[in-house]
């Protein structure tokens, strides 16, 4: 798992618009990199819509918001269009980025074991270091929690 104070691992992946992007492309601005399990599920929708509803505050803070899940670009486009999400979603179908950040692993849900992404947010400072790691975030309060972390970073 990536820790606070460490350089954020750089990566390159595809956006919902089909463009290649790297974390280092955003150097000079704070980045909210949030890992979530799956598009258009109840918790992930609540989390994304919370960010959408507070997006003006993220912009005022100068932050770039990047949501990342194992879903592909086509799923991201549907999710983004359905809920009018104003921020970029990143495709990580091979979970390479999730593995680098330590968010991919064995999960339990309703008595079943499966492999997936843990709901974790990394606040990456403008200099590329990890300013804050938020584990097991609550979808309903995620946006407010991240905005509070941005304000104190």
The half-sphere exposure of 62 on its side-chain side, counting CA atoms within 13 A, is 10
Would you give the DSSP letter of residue 7? B
Tokens 């074991």 correspond to: 113
**44 is a catalytic site residue:** yes
CB 31 within 8 A of CB 66: yes
- Catalytic option among 44, 51, 91, 124: 44
In the chain the first and final C-alpha atoms are separated, in Å, by 20
H-helix or E-strand spanning residue 101:
helix 96-101
CA distance 45 to 42: 5
Cα 48 to chain center, whole Å?
A: 9
Active site residues: 44
């Amino acid at each position: 798992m990536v820790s606070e104070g460490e350089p954020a691992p750089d990566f390159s992946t595809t956006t919902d618009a089909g463009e290649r992007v790297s974390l280092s492309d955003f150097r000079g601005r704070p980045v909210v990199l949030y890992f979530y399990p799956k598009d258009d599920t109840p918790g992930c929708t609540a989390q994304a819509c919370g960010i959408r509803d507070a997006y003006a505050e993220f912009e005022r803070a100068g932050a770039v918001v990047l949501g990342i899940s194992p879903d592909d670009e086509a799923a991201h486009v549907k999710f983004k269009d359905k809920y009018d999400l104003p921020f970029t979603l990143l495709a990580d179908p091979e979970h390479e980025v999730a593995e680098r950040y330590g968010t991919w692993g064995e999960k339990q849900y309703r008595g079943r074991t499966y492999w997936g992404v843990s709901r974790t947010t990394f606040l990456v400072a403008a200099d590329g270091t990890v300013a804050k790691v938020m584990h097991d975030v609550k979808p309903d309060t995620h946006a407010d929690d991240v905005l509070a972390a941005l304000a104190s970073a």
